[in-house]
Amino acid sequence: MSRLTALVLSAAGLGAVYAAPYVLPSFVISLITLVFISGLVAMSINLLAGEAGLVSIGHAGIAAAASYGIAWATLNGMGVGSRVLLALGLALVVSAVFGLTTMYTRGIVYLMISLALGMVAYGLALRLSGLTGGQNGLTGIVRPDFVDLWWQFYFFTAAIFVLALLAIWVMRRSPFGLTLRAVRDSETRAASLGYSVAATKFIATMLSGLLAGIAGVLAVWNSEFISPAAASFARSAMAVVMVILGGTGTLFGPLAGAAVVVGAEHWLSSYVERWPTLLGLAFIAVVIFMPKGLIGQLPRRLRPETDRPQKPAESIEPEATTHTSA
């Protein structure tokens, strides 16, 4: 894709995002808001899965930590700034636990530890009923005034999403992004070049956790309610499904995946009773026929430049194919 097309497309995209609330009904806008929020969680998983080769199926736990943080802080009458700080701080603490326990692992071990930690987060949300309200969850959480109205919240979420997208884009082009890919492609080689593999993974987990935390805050502001379902395995798994649907390691993949999954769960389910079957079949179809995902499989000239495999990684492209379908 040439620079000009890229510019034109991004301008068109931003224009569409800006114009949406003027032309679409509020319910559709609330769905799009949800797509952005789910997209952020998927993006945080994609950051680890695509760049560092670490697939986490416990990320809902991190997002939920931030959600409970903001819920608790709101109900205890803290100011907006300190609420957000507390929530993100909590998400970072949980991410640190994820990072410290997993930084020496990869592959299936990483997967299992992330699953276990996610389940711990779920268990805590369920059991610490004094703080979390247990299964009943916490009600009475209201959004701060500046995002009180649905369209304000939509613009806010969209802005955060675009910023996150830019941040990921910058990160991928930074030396740190290169280091991450080096670690992903060969830990031994990265280590022999003098990089600390564990530290790199830890930092990546923290960055990813921060993103998930931001998504967690937005999720609570969206639903004004939080319950252990937010930390459930189903949530984590759905986020991974979004990543794979959209295309692991692509910039816009998580958004595309989130659109499909949220569309099925929240919209299609109103019209088709067997929507889980359809979603499952769509997932299988994508994995078989489009192993690089909806975005990853786009024709080259339509694919955003950054989503193309980087030059040094070109040699492993066939492997990337096998990897995603495995």
Partner 1 sequence: MQKTGYAANNVPRTEVPTQGKELMLKRNNRPIRGFTLSLLLAVVALVAAACGTPGDDGAATTATTSAAAPDTTAAATPDTTTGGTETTEPATDSTAAAGDGTVTVGFISPTTGFVAALGTDMQRGWEMYWEQNGDTAGGVTVETVFEDDAGDPEIALTKARRLVEEEQVDIVAGPILANTAYAVAEYVAGQGIPTLHITAADDLTQREADPHVLRVGYTSSQTNFPAGQWAFEQDHQTAVTLCPDYAFGWESCGGFVSAFTESGGEVVEQIWHPLGTQDFSTYVTQIQSTAPDVVFIGSAGGSDAIQLFQAWSDFGMAGTIPMIGNCCFADQVFLREVGAEAMGAVKSFTYWVEGRDSEEVQAFVSAYEDAHGEIPSLYAAGSYMMARVVAEALATTGGQVNGSEFIDAARGVSLDNSLYGPLEFDDYNNVVGPVYVTDIVEREDGTLWAVVDETFEDVSQFWNKSPEEYMENPVFTRDYQGN
Shortest Cβ distance from residue 1 to partner 1 (Å)? 19
In the bound state with partner 1, the residue whose beta carbon lies nearer, of 72 and 92, is: 72
The pair of structure tokens assigned to 92 is 């970072």
Bridge partners for 138 per DSSP = 226
Q: Tell me the two tokens of residue 234.
A: 């189903």
Cα torsion 316, 320, 321, 326 to 10°: value is: 130
User: What's the closest the beta carbon of residue 28 comes to partner 1, in angstroms?
Assistant: 9
Tokens (6 digits) for 172: 């991928």
Phi first, then psi: what are they for 29, rounded to 5°?
-65, -40
Within 278-297, the residues that bind partner 1 by CB under 8 A are 278, 281-282, 285, 289-290
Query: How far apart (Å, rounded) are the C-alpha atoms in residues 279 and 39?
Result: 17
Site string for partner 1, 54-83 (x = CB under 8 A): xx----------------------------
Q: Which is nearer to partner 1, 271 or 311 (CB)?
A: 271
| 131 is a contact residue toward partner 1 (CB under 8 A) | no
Please say which residue, 92 or 121, places its beta carbon nearer to partner 1.
121
CB of 276 to partner 1, least distance (A): 5
CA nearest to 31, candidates 250, 260, 210: 260
Minimum CB separation of residue 200 from partner 1 in Å reads: 13
Amino acid at position 57, single letter:
I
Comparing C-alpha atoms, which of 48, 40, 43, 99 is closest to residue 217? 40
The CB-of-232 to partner 1 minimum distance in angstroms stands at: 8
Considering only residues 95 through 114, tell me which ones interact with partner 1, judged by CB under 8 A. Answer: 106-108, 110-111
Reduced to 3 states (helix: H, G, I; strand: E, B; else coil), residue 159 is helix
Shortest Å, Cβ 3 to partner 1: 25
Of the pair 20, 167, the CB lying nearest partner 1 is at: 20
* 43: Cβ contacts below 8 Å, ≥ 6 apart: 164, 165, 168, 211, 254, 255
- Residue 226 bridge partners (DSSP): 138
Q: Looking only at residues 22 through 41 of this chain, which bind partner 1 when binding is defined by CB under 8 A?
A: 22-27, 29-31, 34
Three-class SS of residue 105?
Answer: coil
Region 239-278 residues binding partner 1, contact defined as CB under 8 A: 265-266, 269-278
Q: Which of 77, 130, 175, 194 binds partner 1 (CB under 8 A)?
A: 130
The reply to whether 233 sits near partner 1 by the rule CB under 8 A is no
Please list every residue from 305 through 324 that binds partner 1, using CB under 8 A.
315-323
Is residue 45 at the binding interface for partner 1, with CB under 8 A as the rule?
Answer: no
Distances 51 to 145, 162, 273 between C-alpha atoms, Å: 37, 19, 37
Say which amino acid occupies 33: T
- Interface with partner 1 in residues 177-196 (CB under 8 A): 184-188
